[in-house]
Amino acid sequence: CFKDDVKSLRAVVNPDISKIRNIGIMAHIDAGKTTTTERMLYYSGYTRALGDVDDGDTVTDFMAQERERGITIQSAAVTFDWKSHRINLIDTPGHVDFTLEVERALRVLDGAVAVFDASAGVEAQTLTVWRQAEKHHVPCVCFLNKMDKPAANLGFSIESIRQKLKANPVLLQIPIGSGKNFTGVVDLLSKQKLIWKLSSMGEDGRVFEMKPLDHLDEPELSQEVNEARAALIEQIADLDDEFAELLLTDFSDNFDAVPSVKLREAVRRVTLTRKGVPVLCGSSLRNKGVQPLLDAITAYLPAPSERHHDVVRWYKDDLCALAFKVLHDKQRGPLVFVRIYSGTLKPQTAIHNINRNSIERMSRLLVPFADQHVEIPSMTAGNIALTVGLKQTVTGDTIVSSKASAAAAARRAQNESETGKKKGEHASVVLSGVEVPDPVFFCTIEPPTLAKQSDLENALNCLQREDPSLKVRVDPDSGQTILCGMGELHIEIIHDRIRREYGIETHLGPLQVAYRETILHEASTTDTLDRTVGERRHVVTVKLAVRPVELSSAGGFTAFTEELEEQLSQEIKEAVENGVHSSYLQGPLLGYPLEGVSTLIQSVSMVPGTSPAMVSACVSRCMLKALRLAGGQVLEPLMSLEVTVGEEHLSSVLGDLAQRRGTVRDIQSRHDNKVLLATVPLAEMMGYSTILRTLTSGTATFSLELDTYEAMNPHDQNTLLKRMAGLS
User: Is pLDDT at 459 greater than 60 in this prediction?
Assistant: yes
Q: Is 673 annotated as a binding residue?
A: no
Q: What is the CATH number of domain 634-725?
A: 3.30.70.240
d(CA 295, CA 141) in angstroms, rounded, equals 11
Q: Is 253 annotated as a binding residue?
A: no
pLDDT (average), residues 71-80: 57
Backbone φ/ψ region at 389: left (φ over 0), alpha (ψ -120 to 50), beta: left
Q: Is 696 annotated as a binding residue?
A: no
Q: What is the CATH number of domain 518-630?
A: 3.30.230.10
Q: Is 639 annotated as a binding residue?
A: no
Decide if 182 contacts 175 (C-beta within 8 A).
Answer: yes
From the list 668, 674, 659, 581, the residue with the least C-alpha distance to 619 is 581
pLDDT score for 580:
92
Decide if 355 contacts 333 (C-beta within 8 A).
Answer: no
pLDDT (average), residues 264-270: 95
Torsion of CA 620, 622, 623, 627, to 10 degrees: 140
Q: Is 518 annotated as a binding residue?
A: no
| Selected residue with higher pLDDT from 592 and 143 | 143
Query: Taking the domains of the chain in order of start, what are their residue ranges?
Result: 17-215+274-306, 310-419, 441-512, 518-630, 634-725
Q: How deeply is 589 buried, as exposed, middle or buried, from its count of CB atoms within 10 A (0-12, 13-18, 19+)?
A: buried
Class of domain 310-419 as given by CATH: mainly beta
pLDDT score for 419:
61
Beta bridge partners of 56: none
Q: Is 91 annotated as a binding residue?
A: yes
Decide if 408 contacts 402 (C-beta within 8 A).
Answer: no
Q: Is 147 annotated as a binding residue?
A: yes
Q: List, as one string, the DSSP characters of 135-180.
A: HTT--EEEEEE-TTSTT--HHHHHHHHHHHS---EEE-EEEES-GG
Q: Is 433 annotated as a binding residue?
A: no
User: Is pLDDT at 376 greater than 60 in this prediction?
Assistant: yes
Do the domains at 441-512 and 634-725 have one common CATH topology? Answer: yes
| Selected residue with higher pLDDT from 341 and 252 | 341
pLDDT (average), residues 559-584: 90
Q: Is 168 annotated as a binding residue?
A: no
Beta bridge partners of 527: 542
Beta bridge partners of 703: 642
SS3 678: strand
What's the mean pLDDT when you consider all of the chain?
83
List all residues 6 or more positions away from 244 whose beta carbon is below 8 Å from its beta carbon: 237, 238
pLDDT score for 48:
56
CATH number for domain 17-215+274-306, candidates 1.25.40.20, 1.20.120.610, 3.20.20.70, 3.40.50.300: 3.40.50.300
pLDDT score for 67:
43
DSSP H helical ranges for 165-256: 219-239, 241-250
Q: Is 321 annotated as a binding residue?
A: no
**Amino acid type, 568:** L
Band (pLDDT 50/70/90 cuts) for residue 618 is very high
pLDDT (average), residues 628-639: 91
**Amino acid type, 14:** N
Band (pLDDT 50/70/90 cuts) for residue 270 is very high
d(CA 101, CA 163) in angstroms, rounded, equals 27
Q: Is 148 annotated as a binding residue?
A: yes
pLDDT (average), residues 9-18: 63
pLDDT score for 504:
92
Q: Is 349 annotated as a binding residue?
A: no
DSSP H helical ranges for 33-123: 33-43, 64-69, 99-108
Rounded to a whole number, what is the distance in angstroms from the first to the last CA of the chain?
Answer: 71
User: Is pLDDT at 143 greater than 80 in this prediction?
Assistant: yes
pLDDT score for 193:
92
pLDDT score for 239:
94
User: Is pLDDT at 172 greater than 90 in this prediction?
Assistant: yes
pLDDT (average), residues 530-534: 88
Q: How many CA atoms lie within 13 A of 18 on its CB side?
A: 0
Q: Is 94 annotated as a binding residue?
A: yes
DSSP H helical ranges for 540-695: 562-567, 570-584, 612-630, 647-659, 688-695
pLDDT score for 553:
47
Domain range 441-512, CATH architecture: 2-Layer Sandwich (3.30)
d(CA 679, CA 640) in angstroms, rounded, equals 5
What pLDDT digit, counting tens, does each position of 226-242 carry?
A: 999 999 999 999 999 99
d(CA 367, CA 405) in angstroms, rounded, equals 26
Q: Is 34 annotated as a binding residue?
A: yes
Regarding pTM above 0.75, the answer is no
User: Is pLDDT at 57 greater than 80 in this prediction?
Assistant: no
Q: Is 70 annotated as a binding residue?
A: no
